[in-house]
Amino acid sequence: MPIVRSSDSAFLRGAFILTLAGMVAKVIGAISRIPLYSLLGSEGMGLFQMAYPMYSILLIVSTGGLSVAISKVLAEKMARGDPAGALASFRVAFALLSMSGLAFSTLLYLISPWIASYMARDPRAVLPIKAIAPALLLVAIMSAFRGFFQGLEEMGPVAVSGVLEQIGRLASMLSLAWALLPKGIHYAAAGASAGASIGALVGLVYLGAAYAFRRPGRERDGKRKPETPRSVVLLGELISVALPVSVASAVFGLNELIDLSLVPSRLRAAGIGPAESTMLYGRMSGGAFPLINLPTVFTGALGVSLVPSVAAASVRRDFPLVSRRVAKALTLTYALALPAALGLLVLAEPIPDLLYGEPAVGPVLRPMAPAVLFLALQQVSTAILQGLGHLLVPVVNLMWAALAKAVLTWFLVADPALAIKGASLATTAYFFIAACLNLTAIRRRVENIIEVGPFAAASVASAAMASSTGFVYRTLASQIAPKAATVGSIIWGMLVYGVLVLLTGVFKEEDLAAIPGAGPLAAGILRKLRRK
């Protein structure tokens, strides 16, 4: 296993690889939502989404921390020139993830009746919850392999597995939902939930094959590396990283759990009936929230790439490199998330109409649109703190944010004037508080985390994009079909923003060069244009 040496652009290249795969996966997921929404309707989508909050919490607890721990520990050991220790760490983590995945998968299956009756307040949700339970085991094992490749900063296998997982999920989700629909809406929702388990199996098969082909633990001459049995020590090292990361991830997942626990009941307190409450919950969790997550595909990938990159630089005590990577990551995060947030704000009704055929999602989406920026900053800042070794800081920050969200949800959703919009506002506040606390913590530990010029240029470009996009949509909508107007205005906004950020230097030549494939060519073209 060769020692990995990171350059300034290595973490960006890894992030771009994961982004491209993530975009494909997100497109597949978004495409699947269109026919799935048509099959299940708002009520069926509500049942489908009720399977996810507890699943997400248990998945994060059982896998999130160890996956990050594997990548961080492997990167640190490789930076110290200890590939045998890196491999031994992976093997210990693999065993632990397999056991935890099995345990939590069994737990979710057994407590599904309680979740459906007392949390979701709809007994029909028990079948979707049971159908998704096997995915916990499969994703846990898959996370071990992903953590291994992330620790080596080899993002290709991770990216391919994500795409294959989504393809398997899409095919099985739609086919099972369609086949089971005649038996009832709850059976169809269960079939859709089972797609997560089948997709995870597809991704796992690929990663297992990639790991076997990689043949870790052998030198190029085929001789086995010497290894010292030290499983207990390695287990303690992994858990010391995984435990706070898992807790932070679990607290992060409280966003959906708080919504599941409070939103339906508080909507009823506002005078809304059970069926309509489930429908409104479906619009928020199945309609608006996926759109909030969609633009963060890059920042999520950037966070995955940052943990081993920052950890390796920190171990070598290369603090100028740490500062450069942190500043670059935050600049790119802001420059990509701000226009996405403003775009959703301006086109809050047209975009759900385009994707779902249901513009009624728009009033729920608009108060949540600013959360795109705050969620992106929270993701990347958490990764930075984890890479620096300050693992408990994001945990505490998220706890404060979750507490604020719970209080706001309790009061705002019960107000008939706000109802489901109150849940959107509480979600925005949740990510805003978490991001601000994280950035404050980073500023205390790293110098020069803000590039003022690019931040200002991105702000001006985003404002210009948003105002022109709204104008173009209104103009086109008066002349052509609304959905065509939406597509045209989105393309216009992307072109306007792209030209502005390239001309103002927000994205530099080295940033473009890190993009796989056409990146070096695009960097060369930009260099020639700036010389003119």
> Which pLDDT does position 439 carry in this prediction?
93
Q: Which of 395, 418, 449 is the last residue of a domain?
A: 449
Measured CA to CA, the distance from residue 464 to residue 157 in angstroms comes to 39
Q: CB neighbours (10 Å) of residue 110?
A: 11
What type of residue is 276?
A: E
Task: Quote the crossing angle between the two packed helices 83-114 and 231-269, to the nearest 10°.
Answer: 30
442 and 419 co-located in one domain: yes
Q: What is the mean pLDDT of residues 41-49?
A: 80
- Please compute the mean of the pLDDT values over residues 390-401 and round it to a whole number: 88
Residue 217 exposure: Cα atoms within 13 Å on the Cβ side: 15
Domain assignment present for 520: yes
In a shared domain, residues 416 and 524: no
pLDDT in tens, 404-415: 999 999 999 998
Position 438 pLDDT exceeds 90:
yes
| pLDDT for residue 94 is more than 60 | yes
One domain, residues 135 and 213: yes
Average pLDDT over every residue of 254-265: 81
Question: 399 with 386: CB under 8 angstroms?
Answer: no
Instruction: Specify the DSSP class assigned to residue 518.
Output: T
Ramachandran region of residue 454, left (φ > 0), alpha (ψ -120 to 50) or beta? Answer: alpha
For residue 367, pLDDT over 70 is answered with yes
Length of the chain: 532
Return d(Cα 265, Cα 94) in angstroms, integer. 40
CB atoms within 10 A of CB 323: 15
Same domain, 482 and 349: no
Asked, for residue 281, whether it belongs to a domain, the answer is: yes
| Cα 186-136-40 angle, rounded to 5 deg | 20
Count of structural domains, the chain: 3
Residue with the larger pLDDT of the pair 122 and 179: 179
> Per the structure block, which two tokens stand in for 45?
């989508």
Question: Is the pLDDT reported for residue 4 higher than 60?
Answer: no
- pLDDT bin (cut points 50, 70, 90) of residue 2 is very low
The predicted model gives 144-151 an average pLDDT of: 85
Range of the domain at 290: 271-449
| pLDDT, position 1 | 41
What are the tokens at 238?
């992994």
Residue 439 falls within a domain, yes or no?
Answer: yes
CA dihedral 344, 350, 352, 356 (to 10 degrees): -150
Is the residue at 226 inside a domain? no
Buried b (16+ CB within 10 A) or exposed e, 244-274: bbbbbbbbbbbbbbbbbbbbbebbbebebee
Q: Are 53 and 193 in contact (CB under 8 A)?
A: no
Query: Could you give the dihedral angle defined by the CA atoms of residues 335, 366, 490 and 37, in that order, rounded to the nearest 10 degrees?
Result: 120
Report whether pLDDT(444) > 50: yes
Same structural domain, 383 and 346: yes
Cα 131 from Cα 126, distance rounded (Å): 9
What per-residue confidence (pLDDT) applies to 8?
A: 56
| pLDDT for the residue 64 | 60
Write the DSSP assignment of 135-181 as a string of letters.
HHHHHHHHHHHHHHHHHTT--HHHHHHHHHHHHHHHHHHHHHHHHHG
Residue 302 maps to a domain: yes
Q: How high does pLDDT run on average in the chain?
A: 82
Shared domain for 418 and 384, answered yes or no, is yes
- What pLDDT is recorded for position 496? 93
More confident residue, 369 or 234: 369
Indicate left, alpha or beta for 448 from its phi (over 0: left) and psi (-120 to 50: alpha): left
Q: Which residues 6+ apart lie within 8 Å of 237 measured at CB?
A: 73, 89
With helix as H, strand as E and coil as C, how does 397-422 read?
A: HHHHHHHHHHHHHHHHHCCCCCCHHH
pLDDT at 30 over 50: yes
Answer yes or no: do 423 and 445 share one domain.
yes
DSSP state of 228: -
Least reliable range by pLDDT among 123-127, 176-180, 203-207: 123-127
Domain finish residue from 417, 449, 481: 449
Residues 171 and 59 in one domain: yes
**By three-state DSSP, how is residue 218 classified?**
strand
428 vs 93, 249, 271, 276, 284, CA distance in Å?
35, 18, 24, 23, 13
35: confidence class by pLDDT, cuts 50, 70, 90? confident
Distances (CA, A) of 266 to 294, 323, 348: 27, 45, 24
Cβ atoms of 307 and 66 within 8 Å: the answer is no
In whole angstroms, give the CA distance from residue 332 to residue 337: 8
Kindly tell me if the per-residue pLDDT of 222 is higher than 70: no
Shared domain for 433 and 483, answered yes or no, is: no
- What is the CB neighbour count within 10 angstroms for residue 4? 19
Q: Is residue 254 part of a domain?
A: no
**What per-residue confidence (pLDDT) applies to 376?**
92
pLDDT classification of 326: cutoffs 50, 70, 90: confident
Q: Which of 192, 219, 246 is the last residue of a domain?
A: 219
Comparing 266 with 51, which gets the higher pLDDT? 266
Q: Residue 221's pLDDT is what?
A: 41
Asked if residue 96 and residue 50 are part of one domain, the reply reads yes
- Predicted confidence (pLDDT) per residue in 467-504, tens digit: 999 999 999 988 998 899 999 999 999 999 988 888 88
Q: Picking from 5-9, 89-93, 419-423, 469-473, which range would have the lowest pLDDT averaged per residue?
A: 5-9
Judgement on whether residues 408 and 492 belong to the same structural domain of the protein: no
CA distance 1 to 3: 7
- Residue 11 falls within a domain, yes or no? no
Shared-domain flag, residues 413 and 280: yes
- Does 131 reside within a domain? yes
- Supply φ then ψ for residue 224, to 5 degrees: -75, 140
Helices (H), 347-479: 350-356, 362-365, 371-388, 392-413, 420-445, 452-477
What is the Cα–Cα distance from 88 to 507, expressed in whole angstroms?
40
Q: Give the span between the Cα atoms of 234 and 225, in whole angstroms.
A: 17
pLDDT tier for residue 228 given thresholds of 50, 70 and 90: very low
Q: What is the pLDDT of residues 46-79, one digit of tens each?
A: 788 787 778 877 887 777 677 777 887 887 777 7
